[in-house]
Amino acid sequence: MIQEPRELTALAGSWRGQGQKIALVPTMGSFHAGHLALMHQARQCADQVVVSLFVNPIQFGSGEDLAAYPRDLQRDMELAAGEGVDVLYAPTTSSMYPAGFQTTVRVAELGRGLCGASRPGHFDGVCTVVMKLFSQTQAHLAVFGEKDFQQLAVIRRMVRDLDLAVDIVAHPTVREASGLAMSSRNSYLQDDEREQALCLYRAILFARQKVKGATQPLSAEVLRREIEGNIGQVPGCAVEYVEIVDPDSLERCETVQVNSRLIMAVKIHDRVRLIDNARLFEL
């Protein structure tokens, strides 16, 4: 494990000097099967794999779960080693944001709506830390999960806009046997709440069935309202947003298109915030 940015950057420089390809998997730890799938993909794509483990304080807003976010460093180290990770990078907050730190990276429009509407500044924090990780690891590629689809779109936009020489590799959402998307925050759920949280996956199945059975272009707004209504009927579940969007611009679709994405955020008993998304036309 490495904690100091300069130590990692020096090691990455030596790897590059030897012509080796570096992959980065950015995480906040509390590893589950979804994280391990990202590591496995990175291992297949590169000579050296760096997994960052950093609960990034500047992407959490007031009243969010920064202090409670699950942490288990020893377990994470063991799981990363099992996936053949070369370096687990776990910097301290003070090494990432030393005294006087005042620089922010912002993707203005893509980070404004959806999760950005209820979490102002969240994606500024994400972009800032990811930019630092790109610099520290000198990565040739970085693997992100599709579960946080807005984050993926924002990072892709940042890379394009700033001409960064990093390939962004997307990995499909990894799900539990029930269909619930893997998330570190699933650990907050009680047994009955896990059943209620399936409203997200059931919404995906419902939407895909409606799309599959449509004989003419389907109104995205009509479908969106149906999904919102279905989720709203589940006890303990409150819709934060349900949207059907273009996967690149994240703008609302008027009709459901081949590449349209259903993207949702729900709160379970006003305590656990979960997100999910999926293509509506299955490949």
Burial code (b: 16+ CB inside 10 Å, e: under 16) for 234-247 equals bebbebbbbbbbeb
Helix (H, G, I), strand (E, B) or coil at 19: coil
Residue 252 backbone dihedrals phi, psi, to 5 degrees: -60, 140
Of the candidates 243, 283, 241, 245, which has an alpha carbon nearest to the alpha carbon of residue 266? 241
Out of 32, 35, 40, 171, the active site residue is 35
Q: What is the DSSP letter of 90?
A: -
Residue 35 is among the residues annotated as catalytic for this protein: yes
State the Cα angle at 240 between 181 and 266, rounded to 5°.
Answer: 25
Burial zone of 98 (CB within 10 Å; 0-12 exposed, 13-18 middle, 19+ buried): exposed
Which sequence positions are flagged as catalytic?
A: 35
